[in-house]
Amino acid sequence: MSTHINAANKNDIAPSILLPGDPLRAKFIAENFLESPRCYNEIRGMLGYTGTYKGVPVSVQGTGMGMPSMGIYSWELITEYGVENLIRIGTAGSFHKDIKIKDIVVGMAASTDSNYIHAFDVPGSYSPCASYELLSKLDSSSKELGIPFKAGNIVSCDVFYELKEDWWQKWASMGIMAVEMEAAALYMNAAYNNVNALAIMTISDHFVTGEKATSEERQTSFTDMMKLALETAVK
């Protein structure tokens, strides 16, 4: 039905979907968290699966890295397959000492240095923000599971290798919690199409301390994030 996703029909993809950047992580989620998963997409190696979680249909789709790639997949999922709830799951880099390695952060809003908004011809600045409906469900799931998170403003950046070492400090001075590369585009696509979106990340790198998560820490925090995301998706 779409250029980058070869699912045969709308019913192949659930109304609620998790969006990791890494397609192999999508495969891992499907095989370890979903019941009876089936692969619906293999185009460009960007794997997508649908299964059930606690009896409720849920899909998981790799999106690749960066806003252009997230923009493509989220747009096609919304407009071609009728997806209504899109939850990004991934990693982020912390800008503050009190937001530590392994912490889970949620982007209530997503500032950006991208010009992605030009596609919507908005006559001014725009503030991409999360769905309150999904954020409320996440908060409820967090309390039920005893898995805490921190919510606030994040920044979605186009450049991974910045040349200025202190580039992040001005963002931090404005209260930005962390940096990632996809949420702003997801939030804009969702807003334009009147659907729900939320970005959940685990902290894997720290700009203040220079710390980086170990493979064991990444796996532990990833599992907690997955539990929160799945519970939110099926509420």
Q: Which are the catalytic amino acids?
A: 205
Q: Which residues contact 60 (CB under 8 A, 6 or more apart)?
A: 17, 18, 19, 20, 26, 29, 30, 34, 48, 49, 50
Q: Is residue 173 classed exposed, middle or buried when 0-12, 13-18 and 19+ CB atoms within 10 A define those classes?
A: exposed
Local structure of residue 212 (DSSP, 8 states): B
Residues 224 and 235: their CA atoms lie apart, in Å, by 17
Q: Which is nearest to 111 in space by CA: 197, 176, 207, 201? A: 176
Strands (E), the chain: 16-20, 35-41, 48-53, 56-61, 85-94, 104-112, 150-156, 178-180, 196-206
- Helices 183-192 and 67-81: crossing angle, nearest 10°? 30
Task: Supply 90's token pair.
Answer: 């991934």
